[in-house]
Amino acid sequence: MSFTEFAPGLVVQRFTPPLALADFKLIAFDMDSTLINIECIDEIADAVGKKAEVAAITEATMRGEIKDFKESLTRRVALLEGVTVGALQEVYDARLRLNPGASELVAACKAAGLKILLVSGGFTFFADRVKARLGIDFARSNLLEEAGGRLTGKVVTQSWGDICDGAEKRRTLLEVASLLGISTAQTMAVGDGANDLPMMAEAGLSVAFHAKPKVREQAMVAINEGGLDRLLDVVRA
């Protein structure tokens, strides 16, 4: 593979930039550590003194060392049993920030006529708020079960399935592309962890953002320094 440093901290392979943003019709984003600055599950776990335990599983999963994302998420969610819904709001208010360049990239994509998809192995509580904040068109994520204002330690089965893992992210990208009547060549996928690789492999342009080594190696664009809007250096409006 021939990697080319297009600019400091911005690496490309398997294509010659610049591309035209208007040639794409859909961009799919992972949420945790991609659109936003935190892994939500780790911060929720902090509320019950289990951050180190949960973060260790998260990190091993994102590096691809734990291959089964469903098993990994089920194990981590079980550790959240008893957390209050109020603690989720505190995480959103106090800790969740959009990553640098997120608003600018989403705005540029919308201005060029692209639809925006958020597809996350994280949780609907946060995904719905980020979706509203950025004016995102479609979102799919995991729904935490709650009873009496507290988490039960389980995930709710939704119409499409139970857990949004790498396979479901890929399927969602294909489903939304089909709904829009476009080819996968007209899609971009942006992520940072191993569970983003299946959707990135389908997309016409795959983008790694401050990603794990395994993800950077496979992506067509790797943003290793700076914000998400650096994608606009290689895919221009």
3-state secondary structure of 83: coil
Q: Give phi and psi for 165, each to the nearest 5.
A: -105, -165
Question: What residue type is 51 in one-letter code?
Answer: K
Is residue 203 a contact partner of residue 77, using CB atoms and an 8 Å limit?
no
**How many Cβ atoms sit within 10 Å of the Cβ of residue 52?**
10
Beta strands of the chain (E only): which ranges? 4-7, 10-12, 19-20, 26-29, 115-123, 138-147, 150-156, 187-191, 205-209, 221-223, 235-236
Which residues form the catalytic set?
30, 32
